[in-house]
Homo-oligomer: A and B are copies of this chain.
């Protein structure tokens, strides 16, 4: 069974390395719009061959879409138009509703399995890919009742081999919840980075003297690239705006307590937040 991977970055690369570690699949075929990534992917043993879009579709039994969500949405119906009745497609995008919606009425919808392995990091590119990225992590499968049993079974097998745990929810629920636990933290981090970079614009030295590990961890996600994240924000715009509203309200409550010197309230606020551990 040949595996075709469209998008040879962190996620696509790690799936390939993870599967190869357990000798799953025969040939691994790949495409990446970034030539450097493609060359790297060959060197790193992520894929055996870089081939054309047409050939990848013809030669792969399973096609993995690990590219930004806007491009998944565009390419998925095109691929469904072209594949055989046996081919299986899965995507790994961080939003699911728009993608699922874009092929809802497609005659080959059932060959597609919508997934979101919860395992990204702020670094991207095949050079960061590794076979254990998904180890013991969760994989969200969305609207799985719309996928054929054989397609679903194989996708579950792929993720199980890499020791992931499957979670089943609707694409709508996925996008709502993920806006809080992933998309909002990214906005929080981008905005904090933006705030401190502006404040220390002409004070690089004092900034580097005073920054500590606290700022580093809260702004870790601010290193994430716009090619991945802007399409996610656009695709989950309404949920994200709602999550931002709630977050800004929480900040304003904290600020009000501080202004009004209601320190016992801040004490309660902190103690509640401590529950995150």
Contact = CB atoms under 8 A, between A and B. Distances in A.
Interface string A168-189: 0100000001101110111111
Contacts of A198: 246, 250
A121 B212 CA distance: 9
Nearest to A228: B270
A107 interface: no
A233 interface: yes
A240 interface: yes
A261 B119 CA distance: 28
User: Helix, strand, loop or mixed for chain A's interface?
Assistant: helix
Interface residues of A, number: 85
A235 to B, nearest CB: 11
B178 A210 contact: yes
A272 interface: yes
Contacts of A119: 212-213
23 contacts: A121-B213, A167-B209, A178-B210, A180-B196, A181-B212, A182-B214, A187-B251, A189-B273, A190-B254, A190-B273, A191-B254, A193-B273, A194-B272, A195-B250, A196-B276, A197-B273, A197-B275, A199-B243, A218-B221, A222-B274, A230-B270, A241-B258, A247-B251
Interface of A: 118-122, 137-138, 140, 167, 169, 177-178, 180-182, 184-200, 203, 206-207, 209-215, 217-226, 229-230, 233-234, 237, 240-241, 243-248, 250-252, 254-255, 258-259, 261, 263, 266-267, 269-277
